[in-house]
Amino acid sequence: MSGPRRHRTVRRGVGGGVERLRELRRTLRREDDASAVDRVAAAAERLAVLMTAGVPAPAAWRHLGADDPSDVVLEAAATAAGDGDPVAPAISRAIGDQGIGAAAWSSVAAAWAVASDTGAPMAGALRDLAGALRDDAQLRREVRAVLAGPRASARLVTALPGIAVAFGIVLGFDTMRVLVGGPIGWALLAGGSALLWAGARWNRALAARAAPPGSAPGLELDLLAIAMSSGASLEAARAATGRAMRAHLPAAPRASADIASTIRLATEAGAPVADLLRAEAYRRRRTARTDGAMRAASLGVRLMLPLGACILPAFVLLGVAPLMISVVTGTLGGAA
């Protein structure tokens, strides 16, 4: 193998090893949703401060990347800004599988794209977005706190059948032999396991339904406010916002009705459209916070459904029935 080819092979191998180490590090330090959103909000806020102080965008991204060398999004954005390439597509390409953090970075990409397209002040756009992401992170913390009790209860009751089996063994009853020693035991084991699996899936589905949405509520309103702050016409601002949403947040909920009513109010009253859009976005986040707390509070009641329909029958099939069969067979065997 020639020297240059060998060097390229070594570089590729080293690069692949570094990337695998980064992926392992991200996996080991997997964040909860609120912390992931908060981290992106902090990055946007720092960018805004640096750019307000006159630091060019490439240098601002490099400074952030130096604080967290393992963050591939910061690295990709710094590289794109330094090369003069569009930053927003680079962020979207580098996001990968980061869960809720990916949605937050997609919001940054959308805000950057809107500000770049319309000429809006980038620092102001990032500062507005950071505020929206902070509100989203706070919503996730509050919902997680309310969900902590119901989720712990769900985990506890899901473990009841296994505890019953272990309890029977400790008391000296041969419940495991009953479960694996014949057709009756196999039927009990299969039925109890199926009910246990269904109950666990049901619990997770209920908890997921109570969780906040992936993207921050009112984000389209915030993006349109950023576009309007550039002095662009309403048509140009809406076109730029639509392009950014389609490119970076295709799954985010749209707010067409709220946008139309807000624009109509601003037109009739002669008020600034951008300020009314921001106020409407904040109202939607406040409403989402209340709705999330109510969904989480009602989860404790709804979790009674899988408990009664799946977990308790599984407890009977896996714990009580084998115990009773073991007692009866032991008694009959002793009498014989």
Higher pLDDT, 13 or 100: 100
State what percent of residues in the chain have pLDDT above 90: 29
pLDDT of residue 332: 63
- Nearest to residue 251, comparing CAs of 73, 129, 92, 33? 92
pLDDT digits (tens, 9 = 90+) for 88-145: 999 999 887 666 788 889 999 999 999 999 999 999 899 988 988 888 888 788 777 7
SS3 label, residue 41 = helix
**Domain region containing 165:** 122-335
28 has pLDDT over 80: no
pTM: 0.71
Same domain, 292 and 305: yes
What lies within 8 Å, CB to CB, of 173 at 6+ separation is: 322, 323, 326, 327, 330
Domain annotation covers residue 176: yes
pLDDT of residue 252: 83
Same domain, 310 and 209: yes
| Mean of all residue pLDDT scores within the chain | 82
Kindly give the interhelix angle for 57-67 and 33-52, rounded to the nearest 10 degrees.
140
Kindly give the interhelix angle for 100-118 and 219-228, rounded to the nearest 10 degrees.
20
- Nearest to residue 37, comparing CAs of 121, 96, 104? 104
Higher pLDDT, 28 or 278: 278
Structural domain ending residue among the three candidates 87, 121, 155: 121
- Number of domains making up the chain: 2
Domain annotation covers residue 207: yes
Same domain, 138 and 281: yes
Same domain, 167 and 301: yes
Structural domain ending residue among the three candidates 121, 149, 166: 121
Instruction: Output the six-digit token pair for 291.
Output: 């709705």
pLDDT digits (tens, 9 = 90+) for 35-59: 888 899 999 999 999 999 999 988 9
Same domain, 243 and 256: yes
Domain annotation covers residue 2: no
